[in-house]
Amino acid sequence: MTNLTRESLAARDAADPLRRKRDEFDVPEGVIYLDGNSLGALPRAVPARIKHVIEQEWGEGLIRSWNRAKWMELPGRIGAKIAPLVGARADEVIACDSTSVNLYKVITAALRLNPGRRVILSEHANFPTDLYIAQGAMGLIDKGHELKLVEGAEIADAIDDRTALVMLTHIDFKSGRIHDMRAITAKAHEKGALVIWDLAHSAGALQVELDACNADFAIGCGYKYLNGGPGAPAFVFIRKDLQEKVQPALSGWIGHKRPFDFITQYEPGPGMHRMLVGTPPILAMSALDTALDVWRDVDMKVLRAKSLDMGTVFSRLLVERCAGMNMVNITPPDDAIRGSQVSVSHPESYAIMQELVARGVIGDFRAPDCMRFGFTPLYLRFTDLWDAVEILRDIVATGAWDKPAYKVRAAIT
């Protein structure tokens, strides 16, 4: 195999079936954005929608807009737009609250559905909020639940007849490794356990097959690959046949069967509506609603192929251009189990990432020593990958990362 060149990558860009999607995003000039897995770029149609919602729907319509602008339908309408991306039916997904809050809802729901069992099984490497929320829920329930953590590869074998719930993040936020949703869900069901899948790094990164895998519960994030904006509403999935069995722990009035009857007794609303708690944030919902329109004509097979290609190209560039620089690619090399990112460990990762960002190459740092580069096929070009790796190479070769300012860590990495 001959080494990659910038020209060969420019040819890939020219032949890329997704190349026009970039025009639907506002990617700043001079920035190579490899962090769309953490905060997606701004879809160009969003500012006009927000302006309309603020000036017309809110400013002019005032409270009348709850009916006239159908504000209360947004959570369900957005859920229906997310559903095809995660392999669910339109009435199995609803948008609301944050990923963390939605986790609380589904953990408590699942534990109630499996009352005879006490073990929540997850992995050490799971995203911290998932583990923290489980700890908080267990503390409140106070029935002797145990959070059992094993290594990712040992999950399937660790599911037994004490397991109430298996709670996993489908694509690992640090390494990008993908869990086998179908096999783990099947194993859990065989042993009488329920499963929650966290799709934070999956929704919009690849086609997820919740229904085909017979998944029970899932939650995911609106501001990563779905480009809904900072702190965008998240989403919840509950398989159709489980919905009516779910007793919400966060039993707010918007999830009530008849919120405007103002009665004293809580009764859960129909289907996914019971996952709603309080008044939806209409500005944020509107941004996410418009952001999701970019997916209308996207073939997820084409998207996944480009995403994997980008991972392969980036990994090859690290080998070809950055040999001997002490960078270790910790991403699974196998396409079948790799998400839409490449993660590299290096002892000076924090400082190197600061210098990369200073030069317009935006990725992120994950403790203790990981540089993370995310690939968003809708607005990234192959030549961006070349340019990013050339800048990375220069920073490490010249020691430009070694600056006093980079010895102090910012609050948010």
Active site residues: 127, 198, 223-224, 372
Rounded Cα distance between 97 and 180, Å, is 27
Rounded Cα distance between 178 and 71, Å, is 36
Cβ neighbours for 312, distance < 8 A, ≥ 6 positions apart = 335
Q: Does residue 129 interact with ligand PLP by CB under 6 A?
A: yes
Q: Does residue 373 interact with ligand PLP by CB under 6 A?
A: no
Count residues binding ligand PLP (CB under 6 A).
13
Q: What is the sign, positive or negative, of the torsion defined by CA atoms of 316, 318, 320, 323?
A: negative
Q: Which is nearer to ligand PLP, 127 or 373 (CB)?
A: 127
Q: Does residue 243 interact with ligand PLP by CB under 6 A?
A: no
Q: Does residue 364 interact with ligand PLP by CB under 6 A?
A: no
**At its nearest, how many Å lie between ligand PLP and the CB of residue 185?**
17
Inter-residue contact 57 to 71 (CB < 8 Å) = yes
Q: Does residue 123 interact with ligand PLP by CB under 6 A?
A: no
49: closest CA among 41, 40, 58?
58
Q: Which is nearer to ligand PLP, 205 or 272 (CB)?
A: 205
**At its nearest, how many Å lie between ligand PLP and the CB of residue 62?**
30
**At its nearest, how many Å lie between ligand PLP and the CB of residue 332?**
17
Helix (H) or strand (E) holding 167: strand 163-169
Q: Does residue 291 interact with ligand PLP by CB under 6 A?
A: no
Residue 173: strand, helix, or coil: coil
Kindly indicate which of the ranges 58-66, 127-135, 139-147, 316-324 contains the residues binding ligand PLP, using the contact rule CB under 6 A. Answer: 127-135
Kindly indicate which of the ranges 14-22, 96-104, 160-168, 401-409 contains the residues binding ligand PLP, using the contact rule CB under 6 A. Answer: 96-104
Q: Does residue 169 interact with ligand PLP by CB under 6 A?
A: yes
Q: Which is nearer to ligand PLP, 138 or 218 (CB)?
A: 218
Q: Which is nearer to ligand PLP, 41 or 392 (CB)?
A: 41
381: closest CA among 20, 56, 113, 66?
20
Q: Which is nearer to ligand PLP, 176 or 348 (CB)?
A: 176
Q: Does residue 98 interact with ligand PLP by CB under 6 A?
A: yes
Amino acid identity of 379?
Answer: Y
Task: Return the residue of 138, 155, 195, 221 that touches ligand PLP, per CB under 6 A.
Answer: 221
Inter-residue contact 198 to 218 (CB < 8 Å) = yes
Task: Return the residue of 117, 118, 201, 306 that touches ligand PLP, per CB under 6 A.
Answer: 201
Residue at token pair 């007794």: 265
Residues in the chain: 413
Q: Does residue 200 interact with ligand PLP by CB under 6 A?
A: yes
Task: Return the residue of 33, 173, 217, 386 that touches ligand PLP, per CB under 6 A.
Answer: 173
Rounded Cα distance between 350 and 357, Å, is 11
Question: How far, in Å, are 48, 52, 94, 223, 290 from residue 283 at the CA level?
Answer: 12, 10, 17, 14, 11
Q: Which is nearer to ligand PLP, 74 or 221 (CB)?
A: 221
Q: Does residue 127 interact with ligand PLP by CB under 6 A?
A: yes
Q: Give the CA count within 13 Å in the CB-facing half-sphere of 83.
A: 19
**At its nearest, how many Å lie between ligand PLP and the CB of residue 154?**
19
Residue 113: strand, helix, or coil: helix
Residue 236: strand, helix, or coil: strand
Q: Does residue 350 interact with ligand PLP by CB under 6 A?
A: no
Task: Return the residue of 35, 57, 123, 198 that touches ligand PLP, per CB under 6 A.
Answer: 198
Q: Does residue 379 interact with ligand PLP by CB under 6 A?
A: no
Q: Which is nearer to ligand PLP, 16 or 130 (CB)?
A: 130
Task: Return the residue of 8, 65, 100, 114 that touches ligand PLP, per CB under 6 A.
Answer: 100
Rounded Cα distance between 340 and 367, Å, is 19
206: closest CA among 95, 295, 103, 288?
295
Structure tokens, 230: 């900072």
Residue 268: strand, helix, or coil: strand
Q: Which is nearer to ligand PLP, 198 or 355 (CB)?
A: 198
Q: Does residue 99 interact with ligand PLP by CB under 6 A?
A: yes
Q: Strands 32-33 and 361-362, how do they pair?
A: parallel
Binding site for ligand PLP (CB under 6 A): 98-100, 127, 129-130, 169, 173, 198, 200-201, 221, 234
